[in-house]
Copies of this chain bind each other. A is one copy, B any other.
Amino acid sequence: MADKLVKDITSMDEDFAQWYTDIVTRAELIDYSSVKGCMIIKPAGYALWENIQHELDRRFKETGVENVYMPLFIPESLLQKEKDHVEGFAPEAAWVTMGGSEPLTEKLCVRPTSETLFCDLYKNIVHSYRDLPKVYNQWCSVVRWEKTTRPFLRSREFLWQEGHTIHATYEEAEDRTVQMLNVYADFCKDVLAIPTIRGRKTDKEKFAGAEATYTIEAMMHDGKALQSGTSHNFGDGFAKAFGIEFTDKDNSLHQPFQTSWGLSTRIIGAIIMVHGDNDGLVLPPKIAPTQVVIVPIQQAKEGVLEKANELAASLKSFRVKVDDSDRRPGFKFSEQEMRGFPLRLEIGPKDIEAGQCVAVRRDTREKYTVSLDEAESFVSKMLEEIHNDMYKRAKEHLDSCIYNAVTYDEFKETIEQKPGFIRAMWCGSVECEDQIKADTTATSRCMPFEDQERISETCVCCGKPAKHLVYWGKAY
């Protein structure tokens, strides 16, 4: 059975898309449901999301975020209040038109995102500078009626958090927008071992209704980009559309400034495609639901199971599990590798005699002989090392997949032959972005914060004077 699990995985070099689908189903992260485009998140997948939530929520709260819960439904008239926003979301909205057996007088949109609901609340509770700021967030599911869907990457329903804040000044809103982007980037690095490029989206790619959208972009194994978290500064656009005003200290009326920021179950797709290999998932130790799995060898022999359980007890500060099922060790190994558990400890009669066990890393397959007395400190150090090495490899991969293009021919040739990001100058016009997308399917991923080199003076597409360095790439 476990053997079969692995044999069923397509090699990633052969068919990356099929490899991805094989992993999400064989590692039992999701199951398909009777509702087209909606996924069932199974225990192994949901435990990942719980660990992500737990750690991200803690980081949010350290910055003063308070959690709330807003309604699932948005009346059509409310969704329509901000023009750009409704244009962006109405085409993919799911509409409730009946309650019980009666048609509704106004149809209700199942929330695709909740800016309009938060604006409606803020209009009621923000009146004075004393009411500001509000730094709210909610963990919930949202619905977008996508035509083509893939587990985690694009589904009609997905789980996420959406932060929505409101401030007295533009500067404070801008600071919060960048602050939360940095929370996402640090989280990806420190917890998921995923390096990202932080930057600003072009107007074409920004969120519907935003003045500025910031993004973190991660690089998958196949050289495609995955937008992994975004943070938006709305200026006072929503406040104007919804009539939100506050009285300042000097008794004058002002519009407040707003932000929103979100990270979703999509990030699980990034974990799979950044770290996974042909044997299955490779989970970052900090969010792995099982960090250490202990496999008793010749477990029927007297004392083996007891010693395995003793070892587990000595490691109780980690998420540890003993696999004492009645299957052959080889079966267990390949199932555990499929599931991506970071560290395996094998312990059999000979090991017990020698007072040791054998440790095997999931990421590199390296083996270590570990004294049972030192198991706890070994595991602690090794999980840290696995995290660091996973990050290092992902960073090397990212760095090795960034190319320059000065001419349009270079651009087209590179995008064709070398999966990854292309650094190229851009004039600032949406026409050039459209042209590039039409010719190559690549999109502008971001104008990176930490890389503003002017590699040439002209737009890679039209040849007119260049304004910004942009990272381009094919994306999920």
Inter-chain contact A33/B120, CB cutoff 8 Å? yes
Inter-chain contact B69/A159, CB cutoff 8 Å? yes
Given A40-B71, A50-B67, A75-B35: A94 touches B98 (CB 8 Å cut-off)? yes
Least CB distance, A38 to chain B, in whole angstroms: 4
Closest Cβ neighbor of A91 among chain B residues: B100
Complex Cα distance, B117 from A455, in Å, reads: 55
Q: How many copies does the complex hold?
A: 2
Given A94-B99, A99-B94: A136 touches B70 (CB 8 Å cut-off)? no
Complex Cα distance, B156 from A68, in Å, reads: 17
Inter-chain contact B101/A91, CB cutoff 8 Å? yes
A22 in contact (CB, < 8 A)? no
In A72-127, the 8 Å CB interface with B consists of 72-75, 78, 91-101, 107-108, 110, 117, 120-121, 124-125
Complex Cα distance, B34 from A234, in Å, reads: 22
Which stretch in A140-148, A290-298, A386-394, A406-414 binds the other chain? A140-148
Inter-chain contact A108/B35, CB cutoff 8 Å? yes
Residues of B within 8 A of A465 (CB): none
Closest Cβ neighbor of A138 among chain B residues: B46
Residues of B within 8 A of A93 (CB): 99-100
Closest Cβ neighbor of A47 among chain B residues: B67
Residues of B within 8 A of A47 (CB): 66-67
Complex Cα distance, B159 from A140, in Å, reads: 10
A475 in contact (CB, < 8 A)? no
Complex Cα distance, B140 from A350, in Å, reads: 49
Least CB distance, A44 to chain B, in whole angstroms: 9
Residues of B within 8 A of A40 (CB): 68-71, 117, 121
Inter-chain contact B69/A41, CB cutoff 8 Å? yes
A31 in contact (CB, < 8 A)? yes
Interface size, A (range): 35 or more
Complex partner residue of A46 from B31, B67, B71, B143, CB under 8 angstroms:
B67
Inter-chain contact B67/A99, CB cutoff 8 Å? no
Closest Cβ neighbor of A116 among chain B residues: B34
Inter-chain contact B69/A46, CB cutoff 8 Å? yes
Inter-chain contact B97/A97, CB cutoff 8 Å? yes
Of A69, A75, A95, chain B has the most CB atoms within 10 Å of the CB of: A69
Residues of B within 8 A of A136 (CB): 43
Complex Cα distance, B43 from A136, in Å, reads: 8
Complex Cα distance, B136 from A46, in Å, reads: 11
Inter-chain contact B97/A98, CB cutoff 8 Å? yes
Least CB distance, A88 to chain B, in whole angstroms: 13
Complex Cα distance, B31 from A39, in Å, reads: 32
Inter-chain contact A46/B34, CB cutoff 8 Å? no
A323 in contact (CB, < 8 A)? no
Least CB distance, A266 to chain B, in whole angstroms: 14
Least CB distance, A110 to chain B, in whole angstroms: 7
Complex partner residue of A72 from B42, B75, B143, CB under 8 angstroms:
B143
Least CB distance, A452 to chain B, in whole angstroms: 39
Inter-chain contact B67/A120, CB cutoff 8 Å? no
Q: Mark A42-76, 1 if CB is under 8 A from B, else 0.
A: 11001101100000000000000011111111110
Complex Cα distance, B138 from A46, in Å, reads: 10
Complex Cα distance, B101 from A91, in Å, reads: 6
Of A47, A67, A159, chain B has the most CB atoms within 10 Å of the CB of: A67
Least CB distance, A163 to chain B, in whole angstroms: 13
Inter-chain contact A95/B94, CB cutoff 8 Å? no
Complex Cα distance, B138 from A47, in Å, reads: 12
Inter-chain contact A96/B99, CB cutoff 8 Å? no
A186 in contact (CB, < 8 A)? no
15 contacting pairs across A/B (C-beta < 8 A): A31-B125, A33-B120, A34-B78, A35-B73, A38-B72, A40-B68, A41-B69, A43-B68, A49-B69, A72-B143, A92-B100, A94-B98, A95-B98, A96-B97, A98-B107
Residues of A in contact with B (beta carbons under 8 Å apart):
31, 33-35, 38-43, 46-47, 49-50, 66-75, 78, 91-101, 107-108, 110, 117, 120-121, 124-125, 136, 140-141, 143, 145, 156-157, 159
4 nearest interchain CB pairs? Answer: A38-B71, A43-B66, A99-B145, A41-B69
Other than A41-B69, A72-B141, give 17 A-B pairs with Cβ distance below 8 A.
A31-B125, A33-B70, A35-B73, A35-B74, A35-B75, A38-B71, A38-B73, A47-B66, A50-B67, A72-B143, A91-B101, A94-B96, A94-B98, A96-B96, A99-B156, A110-B110, A140-B141
